[in-house]
């Protein structure tokens, strides 16, 4: 569909802001995770619907071109702001002025009114969007992905509290956004109760899952492709390795499992405060005497990631908090039941005792009890596997995109009416 045939009221061009991580990065390590997947999947579909997408992200390498095509109709624009490498996420606020300058410069070189809407992801981008929205006279639709106040309420041992600067920065973005996109009703509540977001500006839009890539497949073949033993019971953890995601809970539970041959498969790379001690999981496995039963794989992409989910008897998501938990959905789409902590978005992503099991708290003994029960009962696992596939089918990136289009249309209509009223007020004055 070309932008000329777009239904009325929809944006023709969207400036998407993703300051701290690029949609071109491999998720599962460093700062790249579910937000990157979200931006890629949604941008591709918006472009297919006829909307031009430009994603602005910080340049993190001297060899990156100023612009790169992510997919037809989706351009990534690299903005120079601070050193290419070695800049921690905590130091990015100091580069927001440079980043905003780069974004505004690109828009200024275009005919007036080039972008119709700003979509910002994570609070750093929201800050840039706040200024750009005022300059361009367009609505700002913000997705937080994680919230500092929520994270600080559920801090993992060894994790750093989010600083006051971020808390205040998020409050400002909440106040300035025309619409706030929440992944789940739980996140919507958090925005309203903790950040005082006006109810009418919060829209719940569930993220999706790529059902073509993540689908059930032969477990033994997947294990053979990954070099995993065909008969051992395998519980997988997939994601960025940091205290918030609590992969240590799986290692501790492994040490308490009745099956002495069960294996924990840990897939992903260090991230956040996990970067301070990248070998901590290995040290933990050593100290518990289970090092030979823990397999590590670096971040996996595409079909190999689907194979990881298929190869596992269970996927564990023991996070202290998740705004949604895409990994849980992807595992279920592959027909693998998920054992997840009963926190945040995981309560939506997993249907307790239907597509997996939700566990209260992070005590290794509780996790070992649930894992033991499921690993000993193949019939129950099969039932949950069926429930998992069915549940995952309730989510898709097409649905997410369709809902977002509604949100964009509302934001544009409301923004236009407000501006007309403002103009009328000025004229009377």
Q: Which residues contact ligand UDP by CB under 6 A? A: 27-28, 33-35, 37, 238-240, 267-268, 299-301, 305, 324-327, 330
Among all residues, whose Cβ is closest to ligand UDP? 33
CB of 224 to ligand UDP, least distance (A): 19
Contact 168, 162 (CB under 8 A): no
**Residue 312 labeled ligand binder:** yes
CA 87, 89, 94, 100: dihedral to nearest 10 degrees? 100
Burial (CB count <10 Å: 0-12, 13-18, 19+), residue 354: middle
Is the Cβ of residue 39 or residue 47 nearer to ligand UDP in the bound state? 39
CB of 348 to ligand UDP, least distance (A): 12
**Residue 20 labeled ligand binder:** yes
CB of 305 to ligand UDP, least distance (A): 5
CB atoms within 10 A of CB 192: 17
CB of 12 to ligand UDP, least distance (A): 29
CB of 28 to ligand UDP, least distance (A): 3
Is the Cβ of residue 324 or residue 395 nearer to ligand UDP in the bound state? 324
Report the residue count for the chain: 429
Is the Cβ of residue 54 or residue 210 nearer to ligand UDP in the bound state? 210
Is the Cβ of residue 325 or residue 387 nearer to ligand UDP in the bound state? 325
DSSP bridge pairs for 54: 15, 75
**Residue 33 labeled ligand binder:** yes
**Residue 330 labeled ligand binder:** yes
**Please, where are the H alpha helices in 146-246?**
148-153, 164-176, 185-195, 219-226
CA dist 176 and 28 (Å) reads: 31
Half-sphere exposure of 271 (CA within 13 A, CB side): 24
CB of 39 to ligand UDP, least distance (A): 11
CA 349, 351, 352, 353: dihedral to nearest 10 degrees? -140
Is the Cβ of residue 10 or residue 327 nearer to ligand UDP in the bound state? 327
**Residue 52 labeled ligand binder:** no
DSSP tally for the chain: helices H, then strands E? 15, 14
CB of 185 to ligand UDP, least distance (A): 17
Contact 191, 202 (CB under 8 A): yes
**Residue 69 labeled ligand binder:** no
**Residue 146 labeled ligand binder:** yes
Is the Cβ of residue 133 or residue 240 nearer to ligand UDP in the bound state? 240
Burial (CB count <10 Å: 0-12, 13-18, 19+), residue 114: middle
Provide the token pair at 334: 């592959």
Is the Cβ of residue 138 or residue 148 nearer to ligand UDP in the bound state? 148
CA dist 379 and 371 (Å) reads: 14
**Residue 310 labeled ligand binder:** yes
**Residue 34 labeled ligand binder:** yes
Which segments are annotated as binding site for UDP-N-acetyl-alpha-D-glucosamine? 26-27, 34, 240, 245, 300, 322, 330
Which segments are annotated as binding site for 1D-myo-inositol 3-phosphate? 20, 31-36, 89, 122, 146, 166
Which segments are annotated as binding site? 20, 26-27, 31-36, 89, 122, 146, 166, 240, 245, 300, 309-310, 312, 322, 330, 336
Which segments are annotated as binding site for Mg(2+)? 309-310, 312, 336
């Amino acid at each position: 569909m070309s932008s000329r045939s777009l239904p009325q009221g929809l944006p023709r061009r969207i400036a998407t802001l993703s300051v701290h991580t690029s949609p071109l990065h491999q998720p599962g390590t460093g700062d790249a995770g579910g937000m990157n997947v979200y931006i890629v999947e949604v941008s591709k579909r918006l472009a297919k619907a006829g909307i031009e997408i430009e994603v602005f992200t910080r340049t993190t390498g001297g060899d990156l071109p100023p612009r790169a095509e992510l997919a037809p109709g989706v351009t990534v624009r690299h903005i120079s702001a601070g050193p290419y490498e070695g800049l921690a996420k905590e130091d990015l606020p100091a580069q927001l002025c440079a980043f905003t300058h780069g974004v505004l410069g690109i828009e200024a070189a275009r005919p007036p009114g080039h972008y119709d809407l700003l979509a910002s992801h994570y609070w750093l981008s929201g800050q840039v969007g706040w200024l750009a929205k005022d300059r361009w006279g367009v609505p700002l639709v913000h997705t937080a992905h994680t919230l500092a106040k929520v994270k600080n309420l559920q801090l993992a041992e060894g994790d750093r509290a989010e600083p006051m600067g971020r808390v205040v920065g998020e409050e400002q973005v909440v106040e300035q956004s025309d619409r706030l996109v929440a992944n789940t009703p739980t996140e919507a509540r958090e925005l309203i109760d903790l950040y005082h977001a006006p109810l009418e500006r919060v829209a719940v839009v569930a993220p999706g899952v790529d059902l073509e890539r993540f689908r059930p497949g032969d477990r033994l073949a997947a294990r053979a492709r990954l070099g995993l033993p065909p008969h051992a019971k395998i519980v997988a953890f997939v994601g960025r390795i940091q205290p918030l995601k609590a992969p240590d809970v799986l290692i501790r539970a492994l040490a308490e499992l009745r099956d002495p041959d069960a294996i924990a498969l840990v897939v992903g790379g260090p991230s956040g405060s996990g970067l301070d001690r990248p070998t901590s999981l290995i040290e933990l496995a050593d100290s518990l005497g289970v090092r030979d039963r823990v397999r590590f794989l670096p971040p996996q992409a595409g079909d190999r990631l689907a194979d990881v989910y298929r190869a596992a008897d269970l996927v564990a998501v023991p996070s202290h908090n998740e705004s949604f938990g895409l990994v849980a959905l992807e595992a279920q789409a592959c027909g693998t039941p998920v054992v997840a902590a009963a926190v945040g978005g995981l309560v939506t992503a997993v249907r307790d005792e239907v597509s997996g099991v939700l566990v209260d708290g992070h005590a290794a003994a509780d996790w070992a009890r649930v894992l033991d029960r499921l690993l000993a009962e193949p019939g129950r696992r099969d039932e949950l596997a069926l429930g998992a596939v069915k549940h995952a089918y309730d989510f898709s990136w097409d649905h997410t995109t369709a809902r977002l289009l509604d949100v964009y249309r509302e934001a544009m209509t409301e923004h236009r009416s407000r501006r007309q009223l403002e103009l009328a007020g000025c004229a009377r004055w």
